[in-house]
Amino acid sequence: MTVTSALPTARAARVVAHRGASHEHPEHTLAAYRQAVADGADALECDVRLTADRRLVCVHDRRVERTSDGRGIVSELTYEELRALDFGAWKGAAHAGARVLLFEDLLQEALSAGRPVGLAVETKHPTRAGGRLEEELVRVLRRHGLADGRGGLVEVMSFSRGALTRMHRLAPGLPAVYLMERRLRPVRPPYATHAGPGIELVRRDPGLVGRLKAKGLSVRVWTVDEPEDVELCLDLGVDTLITNRPRAVREQVEAR
């Protein structure tokens, strides 16, 4: 694997790599995250689910068909069964052989980056794991001394108000991001300190960013890949851009 390097400089907005540098590499793979770090991403975004044997893995979909050569539901497969699948070949032969990534391995990768690299962790709901998903996430973070929000390295995200409430109960020091896809009327959910509208919402209603900020929420917008969307977000004062193309967005932010 060839990884090129880009060093971050002073910036007005944070750049978060959506499932890693997932435009170049298969999403949620070690290669994607290592490339994102090399590209100067401030933080790495991941989705987490529980396996049948309660291991925390980085997988977006409920099922594995889209991103692997296997079949089945993540929560019904053990970690070893997931490890046997190829999570890279769907992106092309050059990426074949990528394995499912444990959240704890991603955490270790971020901590060993040689500079501060954060994690933006989305707990996926609905899921049969229910609240056990947040419990396992906090358990792993606590083992690394990060469940209290120390250093601001970890933030949790969810479309589920219930999930954010559970996270606050389990780890009240962690910043919480309320993700928004279709809701146009900004509502501050319990315990959220950040709002995460999708770029389509922001395009349709640019004033949403200002209204969210007026409620005391910082704003993270996803998934911002196109140059015109980056410009729109920067013009509106968006705090964080979540993107599949961290290098290109990093360069555009720094050019401003």
Our answer to whether residue 60 is catalytic in this structure is yes
The C-alpha atoms of residue 62 and residue 121 are separated, in whole angstroms, by 16
* Active-site annotation holder among 25, 28, 60, 194: 60
Please state the separation of Cα 1 from the chain's center in Å.
23
Maximum Cα–Cα distance for the chain, whole Å? 49
* Active-site annotation holder among 18, 23, 25, 194: 18
Residue 227 neighbours by CB under 8 Å, 6+ apart: 248, 252
CA atoms within a 13 Å half-sphere pointing along the CA-CB vector of 227 = 6
Task: Find the helix or strand (DSSP H, E) in which 157 lies.
Answer: strand 154-158
Burial of 86 (0-12, 13-18, 19+ CB in 10 A): middle
The C-alpha atoms of residue 142 and residue 180 are separated, in whole angstroms, by 28
Q: Are 62 and 127 in contact (CB under 8 A)?
A: yes
Which residues on adjacent β-strands are paired with residue 219? 195
Our answer to whether residue 18 is catalytic in this structure is yes
Q: What is the DSSP letter of 63?
A: B
* Residues assigned a catalytic role: 18, 60
